[in-house]
């Protein structure tokens, strides 16, 4: 068993570094957990690919539980309809640590597809990379070594989620973290990322500068968005990040009278300084008017 002092030191270091990466601004106190419903992880492993409108069924030895969709007002579109309009994939990883460069691996991934302000599809899976999960990570995420032993191999999961996402533009909250693991895990199956990432955290800093901080949990509470699961689980975080993305896009449409908000615009916004946002939006409006 890990000595308590080592556990506490590791947990504090991990949470401190994640907070520094996620916040970027002072203020705000993000709790690790919210009192929300739990799901059966065996069912999540077995039903890794499911449509958002279909109620999620979780099974145990004694009962079957039917749960509502995790995000309301979702809509399923045909492949032809989905290809006709821009779709973005909001992804989230849970991992054994902070960096694949230090030997850390992914333990869970989720991808939520968003099109025209609605969730159209989603994917989730635990993944077995054959590495030990430190105790403080289990305390943080709820993902144990026993759960991972039952999960499919990481290579199989990455092939599935890569096929699921395709070349769809990617979004993540604190994208620098998820991008590192996406690229590293893809590299292990000899694939390379073809698309760009947008970061909902960086976009939120420009669109919602008045928020107490720009951690995902604080922004969800600030924007009065639904909490749909336990923080530090991939599907819940991806869904809440998707909900935040939709909120940011709605705010940009309202504030700047835009018909749509493209992934390209999100990437432009995340790069500009605070005082340059208005000029960035003016350029985008002129460009959009020219195209129309």
**Distance between CA atoms of 264 and 277, rounded to whole angstroms?**
14
Q: Which pLDDT value is given to residue 175?
A: 98
Q: Could you tell me which CATH class the domain 38-291 is placed in?
A: alpha beta
In the chain, what are the domain boundaries? 38-291
What is the per-residue pLDDT for 230?
A: 79
pLDDT value for 9: 54
What does the block give as tokens for 62? Answer: 């004694």
Contact in structure between 108 and 94 (CB atoms under 8 Å): yes
* pLDDT, position 231: 85
Q: Is pLDDT above 50 for 51?
A: no
At 138 the pLDDT is 96
How far are the Cα atoms of 74, 113, 165, 291 from residue 77, in angstroms, in the given order?
10, 11, 15, 26
Neighbouring-strand partners of residue 214: none
Residues 6 or more apart whose CB falls under 8 angstroms from that of 68 comprise: 55
Spatial CA neighbour of 79 closest among 26, 120, 128: 120
Whole-angstrom distance, CA of residue 11 vs CA of residue 3: 12
Choice between 226 and 83, residue whose per-residue pLDDT is larger: 226
Q: What's the maximum distance between 2 C-alpha atoms anywhere in the chain?
A: 64
Query: What is the rounded average pLDDT of the residues 216-231?
Result: 93
Q: What is the residue-averaged pLDDT of the chain? A: 79
Is residue 82's pLDDT more than 90? no
DSSP for the chain, please give it. ---HHHHHHHHHHHHHHHHHHHH-SS-----S--------HHHHHHT-EE-TTSPEEEE-SS-EEEE--SSSS-----HHHHHHS-EEEEEEEEESSS-GGGT--EEEEEEEEEETTEEEEEEEEE-B-S-PPPHHHHHHH---HHHHHTSPBHHHHHHHHHHHHTT--EEETTHHHHHHHHHHHHHHTT----S-EEEHHHHHHHH-TTSS--SHHHHHHHTT----S-TTSHHHHHHHHHHHHHHHHHHHHHHHT-S---HHHHHHHHHS-GGGHHHHHHHHHHHHHHH-
Q: List, for residues 115-144, the tens digit of each pLDDT value.
A: 999 999 999 999 999 999 999 999 999 999
Q: Are 21 and 176 contacting, i.e. CB atoms less than 8 angstroms apart?
A: yes
Hey, which of 49-58, 79-88, 94-103, 280-289 has the most confident mean pLDDT? 94-103
DSSP for 55-123 reads: PEEEE-SS-EEEE--SSSS-----HHHHHHS-EEEEEEEEESSS-GGGT--EEEEEEEEEETTEEEEEE
pLDDT classification of 45: cutoffs 50, 70, 90: very low
As a whole number of angstroms, the distance between CA 228 and CA 239 comes to 7
Please state, for a pLDDT cut of 90, what percent of the chain lies above it.
66
């Amino acid at each position: 068993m890990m000595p308590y002092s080592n556990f506490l030191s590791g947990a504090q270091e991990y949470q401190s570094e994640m907070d520094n990466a996620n916040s970027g601004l002072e203020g705000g106190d993000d709790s690790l957990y919210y009192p929300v419903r739990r799901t059966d992880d065996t069912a999540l492993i077995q039903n890794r690919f499911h449509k958002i409108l279909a109620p999620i069924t979780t099974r145990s030895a004694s009962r079957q539980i039917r749960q509502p969709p995790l995000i309301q007002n979702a809509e399923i579109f045909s492949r032809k309809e989905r290809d006709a309009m821009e779709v973005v994939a909001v992804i989230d990883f849970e991992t054994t640590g902070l960096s694949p460069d230090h030997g850390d691996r992914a333990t869970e991934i989720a991808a939520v597809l968003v099109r025209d302000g609605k969730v159209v599809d989603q994917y989730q899976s635990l993944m077995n990379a054959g590495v030990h999960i430190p105790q403080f990570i289990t305390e943080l995420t709820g993902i144990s070594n026993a759960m991972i032993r039952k999960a499919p191999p990481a290579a199989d999961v990455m092939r599935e989620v890569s096929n699921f996402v395709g070349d769809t533009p990617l979004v993540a909250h604190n994208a620098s973290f998820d991008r590192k693991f996406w690229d590293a895990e893809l590299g292990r199956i000899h694939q390379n990322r073809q698309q760009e990432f947008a970061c909902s955290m960086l976009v939120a800093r420009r669109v919602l500068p008045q928020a107490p901080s720009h951690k995902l949990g604080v922004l969800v509470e600030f924007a009065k968005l639904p909490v749909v699961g336990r923080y530090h689980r991939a599907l819940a975080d991806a869904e809440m990040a998707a909900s935040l993305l939709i909120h940011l896009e709605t705010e940009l449409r309202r504030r700047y009278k835009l018909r749509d908000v493209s992934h390209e615009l999100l990437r432009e916004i995340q790069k500009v300084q605070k005082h340059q946002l208005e000029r960035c939006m003016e350029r985008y409006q002129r460009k959009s008017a020219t195209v129309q």
